Structure 1
Amino acid sequence: MSWHLFSVFFITTFFISATPGPNMLLAFQYGLNYGVKRTLWTLAGLSLGLFILLLSTLLGLDVISRQSPWLLDIIKIIGALYLIYLGAVTWRDTGESDGLVADAKQMSADIASTQKRGVSDWRLFRIGVWVSLSNPKAILFFAAFFPKFIDFAAPLWSQYILLTLGFFLSETIWQIIYTIGGKQLAGWLEVGNRLAWLNRICGVIFILIALALLIEVASPFVV
Structure 2
Amino acid sequence: MDTHLLLAFVVASALLSLAPGPDLLFVVANGVAGGRRAGVLAALGMSTGLAIHTAAAAFGLGALIRAAPQALTVVRLAGAVFLLYLAVMTWRNSRAALEPTAPPARRSLRRTYLMATLTNLANPKVILFYLAFVPQFVGTGPAAWPT
Q: 2:137 aligns with which of 149, 163, 174?
A: 149
TM-score of the two chains, using structure 1 as the length reference? 0.43
Change (3 A) 1:9 1:120: same
Compute the displacement of 1:41 (Å): 0.8
| Matched-pair contact (CA < 8 Å) for 2:53–2:121 | yes
Quick one: distance in 1 between partners of 2:55 and 2:114?
Answer: 19
| CA–CA separation in structure 1 for the residues paired with 2:135 and 2:141 | 12
Root mean square deviation of aligned Cα: 3.4
1:12–1:121 Cα change, 3 Å: same
What letter is aligned with 1:43?
A
In the other structure, the counterpart of 1:10 is 10
| Rounded Cα–Cα distance in structure 2 between residues aligned with 1:3 and 1:61 | 26
1:133 and 1:124 mapped to 2: Cα distance? Answer: 14
Unaligned runs of 5+ in 1: 65-70, 73-105, 160-223
Aligned pairs for 1:4-153 within 5 A? 4-60=4-60, 64=63, 110=90, 113=93, 115-116=105-106, 119-135=107-123, 138-153=126-141
Amino acid at match of 1:51: A
SS at match of 2:123: coil
TM-score normalised by the chain length of structure 2: 0.62
**Is the 1:57–1:139 contact (alpha carbons within 8 Å) kept by the matching residues of 2?**
no
Number of residue-to-residue matches in the alignment: 117
Change (3 A) 1:140 1:14: closer
Aligned counterparts, 1:198-213, within 5 A: none
Matches of 1:27 and 1:10, distance apart in 2: 23
Kindly indicate whether the alpha-carbon contact (under 8 Å) linking 1:23 and 1:46 is maintained by their aligned counterparts in 2: yes
* Higher relative contact order, chain-length normalized (CA < 8 Å, sep 6+): 1
Unaligned 5+ segments in structure 2 are: 68-85, 94-103
Deviations 1:81-117 (A, max 9, x none): xxxxxxxxxxxxxxxxxxxxxxxxx97x62994712x
Give the percent of matched residue pairs that are identical in Structure 1 and Structure 2.
28
